[in-house]
Amino acid sequence: MHLSVVILAAGQGKRMFSELPKVLHRVGGKLLLCHVLDTAARLAAEQRLVVYGHGGEAVKAAVAKPGGCSWVEQAEQLGTGHAVAQVLPLIPDGAIVLVLYGDVPLVRPETLQPLIDSADRGNLSLLTAALADPTGYGRIVRDDQQRVMHIVEEKDATPQQRLIREVNTGILAVSVSRLRGWIQALDNDNAQGEYYLTDVTAMAVREGIGVDAFTVPDPQEVQGVNNRLQLAELERYYQRRQTEALLLNGVTLLDPARVDVRGALVTGRDVVIDVNVIFEGEVRLGDRVRIGPHTLIRDAVLGDDCEVLAHSLIEEAEIGVGVHIGPYARLRPGTRLADGVRVGNFVEVKKAFIGRDAKVNHLTYIGDAEIGADVNVGAGTITCNYDGANKHKTIIEDRAFIGSNTALVAPVRVGEGATIGAGSAIAKDVPANSLGITRAPQRVLGGWRRPVKGEKKS
């Protein structure tokens, strides 16, 4: 079976009140359209055809890795049937066509697979939903034997038909051979003057083609996005799905309503996550990792037994086993921490390696540096890595001791076992097992008195 997935993504989304095309808004940190493309990929579709219109160039540019999808322009928005007509010449004979929507991002592959299977058996298959309030949706009209007869759009529905709670999601699957004939026969004799894809249902019934309607178990799964309120509701629904999966996988969430996963999170055993934690991109947490409140972790790997305390930011970092981070720590891209490292409060690390059991505990900036094992970096230490034009590297070898309030002016090397006196500005290499100090001699001026505010000078 050849599966061609057609994704309708030409709408402007006026009710979003945004300069962005609607499908470029995000749920869970991912573009709406990319959610749908990923679903098509999980269905092993041989073709992914995206029908674009408003803001088309922006849409194509935003989908940086389309994964082999083809782009088809719908220059005029004349309805869903007209949109599908644009892609039919690209679909090979014998294919099954599955129609999805770029603003309906969270439908699951397992929900769609029965439609594909039914279409492969020669039927027209529809995905429907039962809504408490069906306002705005096309209704599924059935006969006395509960067979689907046709779909009526709300603007064309009678008062009696508007009482029907089973609605059309717009998602359908059918063989391309049948779809070609039905699309050619569509007309726009309706309240909106558009070519409705939904009209193919009545055509299938007239031809004696079986119509299978599959009702989605959770209507929120097929919720579309037309305004910011629906976008926010969909975000909460998506996050509930993520946190439910984490809980069922053995993760402790101290408040599931206050954890956001905006990417892919992989966790080991006995992980504990506190409130207001955000994961972005690809994050991997080892066994027994504990994440404190108000923390953001983006594209990072944390080894077993790590602890991240409150208000920390970790991005594009590789962290070893048993590392202690925070509170109020910032690990910027390129940070690599070996096993047993301690990075404490108000410490910033950028593009640096910190060796096994080293300690950088307080009020320190480490950038473009390589720090050995068992090094102690005192409070207030700064690696002066930027000269205004170029970045330079600081190297601190094993078991060195850096006194508080030290400025290491790169490029510079502190040798193995060396000590730097507190308050020093080190601009030259310090050999192994030696003391480097640039502290000025202390002077004491007796009888000196601070100026007093308002005191007049004689």
Q: Is pLDDT above 60 for 218?
A: yes
Give me the pLDDT at residue 458, please: 59
Provide the token pair at 418.
């060396």
Question: What integer is the mean pLDDT of 440-455?
Answer: 86
Provide the token pair at 370.
């390589």
pLDDT tens for residues 103-161? 999 999 999 999 999 999 999 999 999 999 999 899 999 999 999 999 998 989 999 99
Q: What CA–CA distance (Å, rounded) separates 241 from 22?
A: 23
Q: What CA–CA distance (Å, rounded) separates 1 from 11?
A: 30
Q: Domain 228-436 belongs to what topology?
A: UDP N-Acetylglucosamine Acyltransferase; domain 1 (2.160.10)
Domain map of the chain by residue range?
3-222, 228-436
Question: What integer is the mean pLDDT of 229-242?
Answer: 97
Q: What CA–CA distance (Å, rounded) separates 265 from 281?
A: 8
Q: Is pLDDT above 60 for 402?
A: yes
Q: What CA–CA distance (Å, rounded) separates 167 from 148?
A: 12
Q: Is pLDDT above 70 for 65?
A: no
- Among the residue ranges 68-72, 282-286, 295-299, the one predicted with the least confidence is 68-72
- Percent of the chain at pLDDT exceeding 70: 98
Q: Is pLDDT above 60 for 66?
A: no
**Phi, psi for 109 (deg, rounded to 5):** -55, -40
CATH of 3-222, one of 3.40.50.10190, 3.40.50.300, 3.90.550.10, 3.40.50.410: 3.90.550.10
Total-model pTM: 0.91
Residue 17 region by backbone torsions, left for phi larger than 0, else alpha for psi between -120 and 50, else beta = left
Cα 69–Cα 73–Cα 79 angle in degrees, nearest 5: 110
The answer to whether 402 and 375 are in contact (CB under 8 A) is yes
Q: What residues are labeled active site? A: 362
Give me the pLDDT at residue 451, please: 85
Give me the pLDDT at residue 455, please: 64
Q: What CA–CA distance (Å, rounded) separates 189 from 202?
A: 14
- The letter for the amino acid at 309 is L
pLDDT tens for residues 356-378? 999 999 999 999 999 999 999 99
